[in-house]
Amino acid sequence: MQNFTFHNPTRIIFGEGQIAALDTQVPREARVLITCGGGSIKSNGVLAQVQAALGERASFVFEGIEPNPTYETLMQAVAVARERNIDFLLAVGGGSVIDGTKFIAAALKFNGEPWDILAKQTPVRDAVPFGSVLTLPATGSEMNNGSVISHRANGDKLFFTSDATYPLFSVLDPTTTYSLPARQIANGVVDAFVHTVEQYLTYPVDAKVQDRFAEGLLLTLTEVGPQALAEPKNYAVRANLMWTATLALNGLIGAGVPQDWATHMLGHEITALHGLDHAQTLAIVLPAMLTVRKEQKRAKLLQYAERVWNITEGSEDERIDAGIAATRAFFERMTVATRLRDYKVSGESVATLIAKLEEHGMTALGERGDVTLEVSRRVYELAV
Ligand code: NZQ
Ligand code: ZN
């Protein structure tokens, strides 16, 4: 096992009816900016619950943080927050709203041009305190310090992390997910699955409990993912999915083990260029990535095939290929297509995707830094 430091300061408040707990979590004198997306929290009643819990506190709503949140929109929120003397942010929505709120929180305390936080990786030392009410199990943003922001004008999608951008608390009420469209449930399952894979399917370091936790998350997703599509109002299923997605990216399974993230970086470029959903890009890239890097990942691919997919027959290569095929079949079963052409993207895009990776310095990705632009090109080409 590798050395590590693990510290996660986010308080999780889990279960039906827990939005009411905002009253105990948000400072009584706070001036709160509620940040949200395109309106789902109005139609499903979540905003009304949040406002009821905040009671007499001064609160304002900033609406319109889009999926794959943009710098352009978030800077409008920064202006509103300054105008209203906001000192607490409350993100109510999915990963995009929470990621966007992390950026707003950091930008409000930042000296200089906030885009430098992404483009130049200028460290964020301080941020306005914020909490979240999660409505879409997928990204883990509710219990991590990462944020992925897009610059619409430049066609960039970049990430930052900072110790200052962990949510103080996140409320996870599984009933808020009942209104999710099937496409977003499917996306969430695929995203959480790939987060787990990025921290598990690398090379062995004899980290037994991290491996078994990761396998537990993957097995749970293969079980509850299809159920979540079939039975949208099954509380137990939604509760298990929600907690699994959080645990997939809150630092726990990634402590003391090598991490990959090449699939995510290649996926971000596809979203930036073609606008595909984040999870769609992962479903496209991961099977191709595992195929191209089969040798480097051989030991873990064999373990994955056996422990997650119960594949024990055949030669090593046959078992590895069967494990990758099972992964693709699972994404397809979740109704997320796994090839670029399924989304009307042709091989002609590969050159631009590679140029963008290069521009963003993504030239030595993966757990060993050996995913060069040439390897990435092979992955994109295989994914067409
Ligand atoms: O905008 P509204 O109206 O709220 O609708 C949203 C949006 O259209 C809708 N939705 C959310 N909760 C709902 C709901 N509709 C009905 N009922 C509900 N309860 O779902 C749509 C998608 O929302 P979004 O927040 O974009 O989805 P997701 O949670 O998958 O977040 C994706 C973003 O997170 C980033 C991705 O890159 C992408 O930008 N990621 C963040 C990570 C992190 N912070 O650690 C890691 C991930 O790898 C990922 O990169
Ligand atoms: Zn992701």
| Domain identity same for 277 and 299 | yes
From 176, 200, 233, the end of a domain falls on: 176
| Domain identity same for 125 and 229 | no
From 149, 176, 203, the end of a domain falls on: 176
Name the residue with tokens 């000296």: 111
| Domain identity same for 139 and 187 | no
| Domain identity same for 195 and 312 | yes
In a domain, 240, yes or no: yes
Q: Beta 88-93 vs 156-161: how paired, if at all?
A: unpaired
| Domain identity same for 163 and 191 | no
H or E element in which residue 93 lies? strand 88-93
Ramachandran angles phi, psi of 378, nearest 5°: -65, -35
Ligand nearest to the CA of 157: 1
Question: What local confidence, expressed as pLDDT, does residue 131 receive?
Answer: 98
Q: Are 104 and 34 in contact (CB under 8 A)?
A: no
CATH number of the domain bearing residue 170:
3.40.50.1970
Domain count across the chain = 2
Largest separation between any pair of C-alpha atoms in the chain:
66
| Domain identity same for 120 and 188 | no
Mutating to test ligand 1, I would choose from 99, 194, 249 the residue with most ligand atoms within 8 A of its C-beta, which is: 99
| Alpha carbon distances (Å) from 116 to 82, 119, 124, 126 | 20, 5, 10, 15
Question: What local confidence, expressed as pLDDT, does residue 364 receive?
Answer: 98
H or E element in which residue 14 lies? strand 11-14
| Domain identity same for 157 and 109 | yes
pTM: 0.98
From 176, 200, 226, the end of a domain falls on: 176
H or E element in which residue 88 lies? strand 88-93
Name the residue with tokens 């499917």: 186
Q: Whose CA is nearest to atom 46 of ligand 1?
A: 139
| Domain identity same for 128 and 270 | no
| Domain identity same for 82 and 206 | no
| Domain identity same for 120 and 222 | no
Compute the distance from residue 314 Cα to the ligand 1 centre, in Å: 40
Range of the domain at 307: 182-383
Q: How far apart are CA 159 and CA 163, in angstroms?
A: 14
287 lines ligand 1 (CB under 6 A): no
Q: Are 117 and 160 in contact (CB under 8 A)?
A: yes
Mutating to test ligand 1, I would choose from 124, 130, 148 the residue with most ligand atoms within 8 A of its C-beta, which is: 148
Q: How far apart are CA 53 and CA 133, in angstroms?
A: 12
Question: What local confidence, expressed as pLDDT, does residue 169 receive?
Answer: 98
Q: What is the pLDDT along the chain (384 residues), one digit of tens a residue?
A: 999 999 999 999 999 999 999 999 999 999 999 999 999 999 999 999 999 999 999 999 999 999 999 999 999 999 999 999 999 999 999 999 999 999 999 999 999 999 999 999 999 999 999 999 999 999 999 999 999 999 999 999 999 999 999 999 999 999 999 999 999 999 999 999 999 999 999 999 999 999 999 999 999 999 999 999 999 999 999 999 999 999 999 999 999 999 999 999 999 999 999 999 999 999 999 999 999 999 999 999 999 999 999 999 999 999 999 999 999 999 999 999 999 999 999 999 999 999 999 999 999 999 999 999 999 999 999 999
CATH number of the domain bearing residue 326:
1.20.1090.10
| Domain identity same for 222 and 159 | no
| Alpha carbon distances (Å) from 203 to 211, 244, 303 | 11, 23, 10
Q: Kindly give, in sequence order, each residue whose CB lies less than 8 Å from that of residue 148, ignoring residues fewer than 6 positions away.
A: 68, 99, 157, 158, 159, 268, 278
